[in-house]
Structure formats: C-alpha cells, structure tokens
Amino acid sequence: MLSLCHGFLLTNKTGISSVGTPALTDSHYLILTDALGVQKQLLSQMETFVLRLQNELKTVNQEVKDLKSGNSAGHSFAIVELKNETSELREKSAQLQKSYDVLQKKFDTIQNENNVLKHDNVALKVQMSNWNNFSVLINQKLNSFTHSIAASNIQNVTTIQSSVDTLKSQVKILNTRFSSLSWTSTSRGQDFLALLDKSNVADLKLETFEQNYALDGNSTKDRFQSLEQNFTSLSSEIRTLKGKVQDMNQPVALTSCISSSVDYRKGQIIKFPVTKTSIGINNVTEFHTTGTFTCETSGVYLLAVHIANSGNSNAVFALYKNSKVISYVMIVYGTHSTDYNSGSGTVVVAMKA
C-alpha cells in the first residue's frame, strides 16, 4: 500500500501555503483518495480472511470436542472389555492353579511308585543275574557230564560191538566148519569135538566179557576221563603247532625303490619310498619314511639291495641289522664307460619279530 503513496505530510487543516512554498494541488488529493481506497479494499479482504479463519477454528474446536467425546466412549468400552477379559483370565488362572495342584499330587504319587518300581527292578535284575549264573553253571556241569557219559558210552559200546562182531565172526566160522565137519563126521570126529569145545569156549568168553564190562564200567569211565584230559592237552599243543606252522608258511615279501635320483652323504640311511610289491607286511609306511625294516614275522629273510651311483669316484653302502653291519658293498668308478655304476648286495639273515 505504501508503495503507491508519495512522501508528503498533511497539516491538520488545509490553508494557504506559506510564502515560497508550493500549494497542494488536486493531484495530491486524488493520490490520497486512491491510497485510502486501496487501504479499505485490503482491510475488507483481511476481515474476510479473519472471518474464514474464525469459522475454521470453530469447526476444528467442534471436531476436537467430538473426538474427545468419542474417544471417551471408546475408552470406556475398551476398559469394560478389558475388565471382563481380566475377570475371565482370573477365573481361568484359578482353574489352572487347581488343575496344576491336582497334577502335582498325581506326579508325586507316580514319582513314589516309580521309585518303588526302580527298587523292585534292581532287585529283580540281581535275582535274574544270580539265576543266570546258576543256570550257566548247571548247563556247564550238565554238558560236561553228558559229554563224558556219552563219550564213555560210545567208547564202551564201540569196544563191545567190536568184540561182539569178532566173536560173531568166530562163531560163524565155527558153525561153518561144524557144518562141513558134519558131512564127514565119521572121518573127522575128533576135529568136530575139538571145534565144539572151541565154540563152547568162545561162548564162555563172550559171557565173561559181558560180565567184565558190567563190572569195569567205573574204571573205564576213569580211563576215559584221563584220555579226555590227554586229548585236550594234545589239542592245545596241536593248535599251537598249527599256529606256528601257519606263521612259518605265511609268505613275506617287499620290493621298493626310489622315484628319482637322491644325493646321500656318509652316515645317512637310504630310503625306498616307492613300493612295488608288499606281502604279509602291515607297517610299510614306517619303512618308507625311516628306511628301516621292522620284522613282523620271525623267520629267515633274503635281503637284496641294488644301487646305481653317478659320479667320478667310488661309493660304498652297507646293510645293517640292529645297528651292526652285516655286509658292505662297494661301487667302483670307471668299471664301465657309462655315467652310472652299480653295486648289489645279497645276504640271508635270521630275524625275530
């Protein structure tokens, strides 16, 4: 608004201008009138804007009041629902507490019964173990007694059967001869009588043998037990001998070499890390890493070593057994015109595992 006004001052009344000062003109009044009109227009717009703001403020206040009244009703409803739910939860909690108390009593009862059952179970296990041991002992005694009686009876029956068969064959022979002699009773009377006597003697021996068998049962049983003990001892010795024979018959062989040339100095152990053949040896890895062969099966071993040397001087290698030299081998330089000269050593050594 002020940008439209020019700077001038108005006195409290319009009068004649002072001497030397120009008087106010109509243009001055027009300008002032225009400025006042613009000011009135702006004031009118401001009043309209203020009225609109007041209406909006009233609307907002009303909405705030409505919201407050609505929130209070909603809160009251929510509080009532929460109170109801709290009451229900309290009732359920009380019921759960009662159920928990009942379950706790049942659990205590079951725990006591379980402890009693555990104690009874331990006692039953002890009794079962005792009965099992007793049963095993009885079975062992029965098996031993059965085997001894069965073997004794078999041995005795076999012996008796053999004797009976022998006597039967003798009786058959005598009967045959008796039949043949009956045809010539006249000329062979004396022979018939002699054969008849032999038949009577054989029958008597058979009866005597059966009586002796009945009387000598105990002595036969004792002899059988002695034989059974001897048989057990012999079986143990036979098993031991079989094991030794099996160990002696177990072949042992090892062939190893190196993959490329290696430089060695005096006192070093030559290693052969590449195995071509391995039979009857369990720990070949130790031989690869240390160069020392450890005997696993006692016996007589044939050791053969072949080494080629490249150089302009002689070389020597040795075979050791338990830190003692058993053979030296020299590789002589200049024996042949090639760059490599070789030497071989072969020994037979008795080794123990």
DSSP string, 240-271: HHHHHHHHHHS--EEEEE-SS-----TTPPP-
266 shares its domain with 190: no
| Residue 12 lies inside a defined structural domain of this protein | no
pLDDT in tens, 87-120: 888 888 888 888 888 888 888 888 888 888 888 8
User: Which phi and psi (to 5°) does residue 227 adopt?
Assistant: -65, -35
Clarify whether residues 184 and 95 are in a common domain: no
Tell me if 15 is assigned to some domain. no
- Judge whether 331 and 309 are in contact, CB under 8 Å: yes
Residues 123, 160 share a domain: no
Q: Quick check: 295 and 309 in contact, CB under 8 A?
A: no
Percent of the chain with pLDDT over 90: 15
pLDDT of residue 345: 94
Domain that holds residue 288: 252-351
pLDDT for the residue 350: 94
Structural contact between residues 313 and 260, judged by C-beta atoms closer than 8 angstroms: no
**pLDDT given for residue 303 in this prediction:** 94
- Confidence at residue 1, expressed as pLDDT on a 0 to 100 scale: 43
CATH for 297 = 2.60.120.40
Q: How far is CA 21 from CA 13, 17, 18, 102, in A?
A: 16, 6, 5, 117
Same domain, residue pair 217 and 128: no
Residue 143 lies in a domain: no
Contact residues for 164 (Cβ-Cβ < 8 A; gap 6+) = 206
pLDDT of res. 224? 67
* 61 in the same domain as 103: yes
Domain end, chosen from 138, 169, 203, is at 138
3-class DSSP assignment, residue 219: helix
Give me the phi and psi of 260, to 5 degrees please: -155, 175
182 and 120, same structural domain? no
Q: What are the strands, taking DSSP E only, across the chain? A: 253-257, 274-279, 299-310, 315-321, 324-331, 340-351
Q: What is the pLDDT of residue 90?
A: 84
279 neighbors 250 (Cβ within 8 angstroms): no
Cα 268 from Cα 264, distance rounded (Å) = 6
> What total number of domains does the chain contain?
3
How many angstroms separate the most distant Cα atoms in the chain?
224
pLDDT of residue 352: 92
- In contact, 164 and 210? CB cutoff 8 Å: no
Whether residues 256 and 201 share a domain: the answer is no
Q: What is the pLDDT of residue 217?
A: 60
Closest CA to 152 of 228, 93, 99: 228
Q: Are 270 and 327 in contact, with CB atoms under 8 Å apart?
A: no
Q: Is residue 26 part of a domain?
A: no
Q: Which of 218, 249, 280 is the last residue of a domain?
A: 249
Residue 299: helix, strand or coil by DSSP?
strand
Q: Are 335 and 315 spatial neighbours (Cβ–Cβ below 8 Å)?
A: no
pLDDT value, residue 72: 59
Helix count and strand count (H, E) for the chain = 4, 6
Residues 304 and 335 in one domain: yes
Select from 310, 313, 307, 300 the least CA-distant residue to 328.
307
Give the pLDDT score at 328. Answer: 94
For residue range 16-43, what is the model confidence (pLDDT) as tens digits? Answer: 455 555 556 677 778 888 888 888 888 8
In a domain, 101, yes or no: yes
**For residue 230, which amino acid is it?**
N
- Low-confidence stretches of the chain (pLDDT < 50) are 1-6, 8, 11-14, 16
Please give the pLDDT value at position 330: 92
